[in-house]
Amino acid sequence: MKVSDWLTQGFRIGLVLVVVAYGVGMVWFIYFADRVAIADHTVLVLDLKGALVEESPGGLRDKVLGELQGESTDSVRLRDLQMALALAEKDKRIDRVLLKLDDFKGAGLASLREAAGAIEKFKTSGKPVLAWSEGYDQRQYYLAAHASQVAVHPMGTVFIEGFGRQRNYYKEALDKLGIQANLIRVGQYKSAGEPFILSQPSAQALKAEAHVYDALWKLYTEGVEQARKLPPGSVAQHIDSLPGALQALNGDAGQLVKDWKWVDQLQTLESLRQTLMDTVGKDEDGKTFRQVGFKDYLQAQLKPVKGAHIAVIVAQGEIGDGRAPAGKIGGLSTSDLIRTATEDEDVKAIVLRVNSPGGSAFGSELIRDQLRIARDKGKPVVVSMGDVAASGGYWIAMAADQVWADAATITGSIGVFAMLPTGEGLMRKLGVNTGGYRTTWLAGAYDPRTALDPRVQALVQSGVEHVYADFIGKAAQARKLEVAQVDELAQGRIWTGAQAQGHHLVDQVGSFNDAVEAARQLVGPTKGADQALPIRYWGPKVSQVQRWIQQYLMQLAAQVGWGVGSYELTPATGLPGVNTALKEDFIWLNGLLDQTQAYTAVTHCLCQITP
């Protein structure tokens, strides 16, 4: 037999072995995936890795590729955290909770308040919650502060810095390049495009941000002080005294936060592990304490919802026109979910959970109109706002029977803008000229290589003003206000949820659970029901076998990724803060330019305000 034949035969045998191994792995995974044994006196470990989100972003392909490339795809769904704590509260096998936060990336204050509320509810069972981290940043500490006991590594600390942001302003740089931003907007507070036409923040932008930041900071500090039983105003006082206080302790930041009673003890993870082994006992191997991870715990406990229920549809991320994967909002894909929920006889009401800074006005209208259709067909609709429900995120909420927001939700920003960048100055500097024959002035009228035609600017201004008028008109009708009243509250200005309620832009301030209960009240008594209507998160139908396959592929990708990562090219290094700011400022602009139509009216607030 030739060498080539031997190689071919060997490859075939190897391929068969891989397929067999894969099949055996699938059978094992499907059979054992849900079998999690939980003994008495078990610690529920909430090892929160990644950001706290409404929906895990990306599809299976994105996650598998991320694992193969060595990139973290971790995130924690808020509902999973809440459900795990709710189940553990009544589970006699769960002795206590360990909240491990060193890899937690946080969320907006509204989501943190929801998670903290679930921790406080769990504590009413009399079971303790222990928090530990190598060191707490501001977001991590908000959750830790609600634990029964807070520990930090002896070399760690708590870093609370307050609220605020610094933005890049590009006008002078664009002038040097010969680029004109050509911002067209309605609303004196619609500051999303200001960095491209100004060299510093406008007075209106500073006024609006100060109004919101101060309110958020008050909510944050009061939440921490109440949870830790600290004197009112003490957090701000300690920050003011920080330089001298730290110097007096020779720079020992861990001891400082212990003296301030921000933490209860300085403890290594190994010491904490030994303490828990002594308290609840050891696991079967005798090497650590008896424990179960919250994702495994949920997988073993949750049962599918059948029969009459309330459909919860998550609208998270930026709003586009078409279809979008999890973690983003597509006008078509999200409205399709609403439509299928409306047509399902088991769905008695719809709760739309919104966490979005906005985006396409057209995509927003597709979703709003589909919610209107649901109401017209007799399905109650309640909107629950998360961290951000502003601009387009507010637009999609306008067709609801009731709108609920957290006190810390960023909402409003009722305004519209469009941007048509042109680089005629840059072309001149390069010595490049543009010209050609056109049958009408409108053919190629917007060309980034040439100055903006005043007629095009007039057309876009008219379109933007029309969208704004439509926006405030729909808001006035939905909120039962005069158009002039809404116009005064709009102008692109953002509000906290509490402020928005005071201006009648939302109905109630409360949690997601409050919004669900409101939906139950709107449905009223259900025939044959002896308990409250359950909720079901509504999305593309995925069978249990498909879920097992997805989990198996994710684990397989993680294993393969360990071997691939060391051979990857290292990306070019730079200044992380600068790179992040540039990405946030320009990625949406790139999306505007990548359109088939001449321009897009954008309802986006660019208000990513997180603690």
Model confidence over 364-400: pLDDT tens digits?
999 999 999 999 999 999 999 999 999 999 999 999 9
Alpha-carbon Rg for the chain, nearest whole angstrom, is 27
* Rounded CA separation 606/430 (Å): 33
Tell whether the model's pLDDT for residue 555 goes beyond 90: no
Confidence of residue 66 (pLDDT cuts 50, 70, 90): very low
Tell whether the model's pLDDT for residue 539 goes beyond 50: yes
* Rounded CA separation 315/437 (Å): 46
- In words, the CATH class of domain 42-158+263-301 is alpha beta
Distance of CA 550 to the CA centre of its chain: 22
Most confident of 13-22, 165-174, 501-510: 501-510
The two structure tokens encoding residue 464? 């933007």
**Total-model pTM:** 0.85
Q: Which of 176, 109, 173 is nearest to 143 (CA)?
A: 109
Tell whether the model's pLDDT for residue 529 goes beyond 70: no
10 Å CB burial of residue 34 (0-12, 13-18, 19+) is middle
Give the range among 102-106, 183-187, 512-516, 572-576 with minimum mean pLDDT.
Answer: 572-576
Domain limits, the chain: 42-158+263-301, 170-176+184-229+307-419+467-561+600-611
Per the model's pLDDT, the better-predicted residue between 526 and 290 turns out to be: 290
Give the range among 163-172, 481-490, 502-511 with minimum mean pLDDT.
Answer: 163-172
pLDDT value for 287: 87
Q: What kind of fold does domain 170-176+184-229+307-419+467-561+600-611 have according to CATH?
A: 2-enoyl-CoA Hydratase; Chain A, domain 1 (3.90.226)
Tell whether the model's pLDDT for residue 336 goes beyond 90: yes
Contacts 24+ apart (CB under 8 A), 329-334: 329/356, 329/359, 329/363, 329/367, 329/396, 330/363, 331/360, 331/362, 331/363, 331/364, 331/365, 331/366, 331/367, 332/363, 332/366, 334/366, 334/367, 334/370
528: which residues sit within 8 A by CB, 6+ positions away?
Answer: none
Q: What is the pLDDT of residues 449-482, one digit of tens each?
A: 999 999 999 999 999 999 999 999 999 999 999 9
List active site positions: 190, 391
pLDDT value for 473: 96
* Rounded CA separation 505/383 (Å): 12
Instruction: Kindly report the average pLDDT of the chain as a whole number.
Output: 85
Decide whether 42-158+263-301 matches 170-176+184-229+307-419+467-561+600-611 in CATH topology. yes
451 residue type, one letter: A
Q: Is 181 helix (H, G, I), strand (E, B) or coil?
A: coil
CB half-sphere exposure, 88, CA atoms < 13 A = 39
pLDDT value for 74: 85
Q: Which of 106, 100, 97 is nearest to 50 (CA)?
A: 106
Tell whether the model's pLDDT for residue 165 goes beyond 90: no
Tell whether the model's pLDDT for residue 319 goes beyond 80: yes
* Contact status, residue 104 vs residue 48, Cβ threshold 8 Å: yes
pLDDT value for 516: 97
* Rounded CA separation 339/331 (Å): 12
Q: What sign results for the dihedral spanned by CA atoms 275, 276, 279, 282?
A: negative
